[in-house]
């Protein structure tokens, strides 16, 4: 462990998979392929939702926000990962670590709440269709998304700031691929029980409560779908809801296993694989999940491509 003379290090050494160097090249290649795919997929969702009038609805307004979140989410960590995996110098400056910590957790906290908001939108659309235009009007949608973003920023700023106050006892080595709150808490020395308790309590509100609301919404949605007389209506409702449910489980599963347990009990390699999953894999898969399982998005994308090629 490297010794430092200041109150905080000038830089952190991110060990990553230093104990398994044979993993670094394959992981570098995978990230080099998936990162552009994630950007391209999410940009496509945003463009299609904005350019096609058929997709000017609350559902696609929320989906556009999710795509923008996922772009920022991956961008906050993947370029640094690629640099460290492709270089013998596996470091990040203290300021870079701090910025990454704030951005990564802002996007993560906001996505937790946004996925819950998207399930509420589906609940109102399917279970309260006559009231849907009144409840989910443009003004309400913008207000709800603003509250979600503000809550995510508040969570990240408060939790990250408190974590950065912990003493590192002259240690600047992190056994991780990025700067993440549980890993920093685990690395810190001295009394950190209050930080672990606070992180668990905050994550109950950011992870467990939204997930319970999502499951309750889909229990009502499932009951409403079964009562539909039209098979076409059931198929369309099931298609839009199943896409969202897949995204929910891909994101919440790893996040809950990482954040709803004390950092001291987290195993050595768990943070690395979990961060890769909810920080890289899920944002890359989201556009394809929504595109492949949604006829409206596929139709709008097909129309957009036909217009582009016909104009050429």
Runs of H (alpha helix) within 165-294? 181-187, 193-203, 209-226, 231-259, 270-276, 282-292
The answer to pTM > 0.85 is yes
Dmax over Cα atoms in the chain, in whole Å?
72
Given strand 91-93, what is the order of strands in its sheet? Answer: 91-93, 11-14, 173-174
pLDDT over 60 (residue 7): no
Higher pLDDT, 98 or 304: 98
What is the number of other CB atoms lying within 10 angstroms of the CB of residue 120? 16
In this prediction, residue 4 carries a pLDDT of 40
In this prediction, residue 167 carries a pLDDT of 82
Q: What domains appear along the chain, each with residue ranges and CATH number?
A: 11-311 (1.20.1070.10)
Q: Angle at the Cα of 49 (from 43 to 52), degrees rounded to 5?
A: 125
- pLDDT winner (highest mean) among 77-81, 195-199, 200-204: 77-81
Higher pLDDT, 111 or 293: 111
pLDDT over 80 (residue 123): yes
For residue range 201-243, list pLDDT tens digits in order.
Answer: 888 889 999 999 999 999 998 888 887 777 776 777 777 788 8
For residue range 25-65, list pLDDT tens digits in order.
Answer: 899 999 999 999 999 989 988 988 888 788 888 988 999 99
Using pLDDT thresholds of 50, 70 and 90, give the confidence band for residue 69: very high
């Amino acid at each position: 462990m490297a010794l430092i003379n200041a109150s905080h290090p000038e830089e952190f050494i991110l060990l990553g998979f230093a104990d398994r160097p044979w993993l670094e090249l394959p992981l570098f290649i995978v990230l080099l392929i998936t990162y552009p795919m994630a950007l391209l997929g999410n940009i496509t969702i945003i463009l299609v939702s904005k350019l096609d009038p058929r997709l000017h609805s609350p559902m696609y307004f929320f989906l556009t926000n999710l795509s923008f979140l996922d772009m920022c989410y991956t961008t906050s960590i993947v370029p640094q990962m690629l640099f460290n995996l492709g270089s013998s110098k596996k470091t990040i400056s203290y300021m870079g670590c701090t910025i990454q910590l704030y951005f990564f957790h802002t996007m993560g906290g906001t996505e937790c709440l946004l996925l819950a908001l998207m399930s509420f939108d589906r609940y109102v659309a399917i279970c309260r269709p006559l009231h849907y235009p009144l409840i989910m009007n443009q003004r309400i949608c913008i207000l709800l998304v603003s509250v979600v973003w503000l809550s995510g920023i508040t969570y990240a700023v408060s939790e990250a700031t408190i974590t950065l106050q912990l003493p590192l006892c002259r240690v600047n080595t992190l056994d991780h691929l990025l700067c993440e709150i549980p890993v920093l808490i685990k690395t810190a020395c001295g009394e950190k029980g209050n930080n672990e308790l606070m992180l668990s309590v905050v994550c109950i509100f950011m992870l467990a409560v939204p997930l319970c609301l999502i499951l309750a919404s889909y229990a009502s949605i499932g009951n409403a779908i079964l009562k539909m007389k039209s098979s076409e209506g059931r198929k369309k409702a099931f298609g839009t809801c199943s896409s969202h449910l897949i995204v929910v489980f891909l994101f919440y599963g790893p996040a809950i296993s990482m954040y709803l347990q004390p950092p001291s009990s987290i195993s050595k390699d768990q943070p690395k694989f979990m961060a890769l999953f909810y920080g890289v894999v899920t944002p890359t898969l989201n556009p394809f999940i929504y595109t492949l399982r949604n006829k409206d998005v596929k139709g709008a994308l097909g129309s957009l491509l036909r217009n582009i090629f016909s104009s050429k």
